[in-house]
């Protein structure tokens, strides 16, 4: 009998690539004509708190700043679904501010939903929750490939990566 093959489903953010995207967004906002003379900006990535702060003169401009950041993140291969938008805050000098927290790890509810989605496929695989990751194992590698394909076809609200494929 052969040993089971397995892989881990995780949700991680490449902080270096995200930092590069933030720096590129800051440069674009400084040079863009429609943001000139305004409070529009992207704060530096706080790696310890996993937080980015956006500022702007109003809500429409804040959305434009967010679009610039998301475009730069996408170009650098960082999934924008990792951003958790907090509520809009009124800041000083008639400006608005919004904090973006980074989602990392798979929470318990999402892990259970993924586990159910995998079980509903009807394949002979075993999915177990291990901390903030989900380990999927099976004697057949084809079943594992089918699970990956199914999760990519119908992804959850968080970005997923598939690691430690053995």
Q: Give the residue carrying structure tokens 């958790």.
A: 84
Indicate if 25 and 92 belong to the same structural domain.
Answer: yes
What is the spatial distance between Cα 97 and Cα 6, in angstroms, rounded to a whole number? 44
Token pair, residue 109, equals 């509810």
Evaluate if residue 157 carries a pLDDT over 90. Answer: no
Indicate if 95 and 113 belong to the same structural domain.
Answer: no
Indicate if 20 and 96 belong to the same structural domain.
Answer: yes
3-state secondary structure of 24: helix
- Number of structural domains (the chain) is 2
CATH number of the domain to which 31 belongs: 3.30.70.990
Q: Give the residue carrying structure tokens 């434009």.
A: 64
Query: Which DSSP helix (H) or strand (E) runs through 16?
Result: helix 15-31
Indicate if 158 and 130 belong to the same structural domain.
Answer: yes
CA-closest candidate to residue 39, choices 90, 107, 81, 94: 94
User: What stretches of 32-162 show up as alpha helix (H) in DSSP?
Assistant: 59-75, 108-119, 141-153
Indicate if 95 and 36 belong to the same structural domain.
Answer: yes
What is the spatial distance between Cα 165 and Cα 64, in angstroms, rounded to a whole number? 39
Indicate if 56 and 37 belong to the same structural domain.
Answer: yes
Range of the domain at 129: 5-12+105-163
Backbone angles phi, psi at 149, to 5 degrees: -60, -40
75-129: pLDDT as tens digits: 999 999 999 999 999 988 889 999 999 998 898 999 999 999 999 999 999 999 9
pLDDT for the residue 166: 82
pLDDT for the residue 2: 57
């Amino acid at each position: 009998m052969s040993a089971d093959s397995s892989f881990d489903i995780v949700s991680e953010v490449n902080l270096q690539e995200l930092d590069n995207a933030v720096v590129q967004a800051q440069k674009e906002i400084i040079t863009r004509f429609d943001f000139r003379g305004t409070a529009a900006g992207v704060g530096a990535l706080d790696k310890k708190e996993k937080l980015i702060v956006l500022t702007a003169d109003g809500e429409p401009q804040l959305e434009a700043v967010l679009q610039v950041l998301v475009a730069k993140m996408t170009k650098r291969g960082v999934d924008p679904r990792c951003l958790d938008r907090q509520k809009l805050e009124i800041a000083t000098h008639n400006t608005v501010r919004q904090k973006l927290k980074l989602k990392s790890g798979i929470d318990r509810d999402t892990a259970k939903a993924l586990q159910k989605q995998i079980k509903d496929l009807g394949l002979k695989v075993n999915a177990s929750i291990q901390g903030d990751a989900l380990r999927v194992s099976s004697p057949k590698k084809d079943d594992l490939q089918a699970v990956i394909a199914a999760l990519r076809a119908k992804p959850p609200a968080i970005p997923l990566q598939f690691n430690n494929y053995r």
